[in-house]
Amino acid sequence: MIKLKNNYLGGFTMAEEILDIEMIAMTLIGQAGETKSLAYQAMNAAKAGKFDEAEEFMKQSTEEMLKAHELQTDLIVREAGGEKIDVGLIMVHSQDHLMTAILFKELAKEFIEVYKRLEQK
């Protein structure tokens, strides 16, 4: 979780709150990109018949996705707790990246299964 230190009054300044949300959004974008990249590498490894390598890439992809999901959940919990979360274009963009990465990861998993079946024939 990304946290910024509180100001001397005990709360976040408006600029710190905006920066905090922007940092979270940019972190989500990076983690989503890594999730997708690792899933793509897994798919390519499976295509080459390297299924152990594909499994390792998928494991790493899942770890990255879980990190991103933890950040996303933290935002939801903060908002549910009464904190106003500014949902700007960067945050919307980060959510788009995350959902696309999750979908791609699921498709990669299916492709890996297809490659395994083709290998068996």
Cα 70–chain centre separation: 9
Active centre residues (catalytic): 93
74 annotated ligand-binding residue? no
Query: Residue 81 gets which letter from DSSP?
Result: T
Total number of residues shown for the chain? 121
The sign one gets for the Cα dihedral 80, 81, 84, 90 is negative
Point out the annotated binding site: 96
Q: Which residue positions form the known binding site for Mg(2+)? A: 96
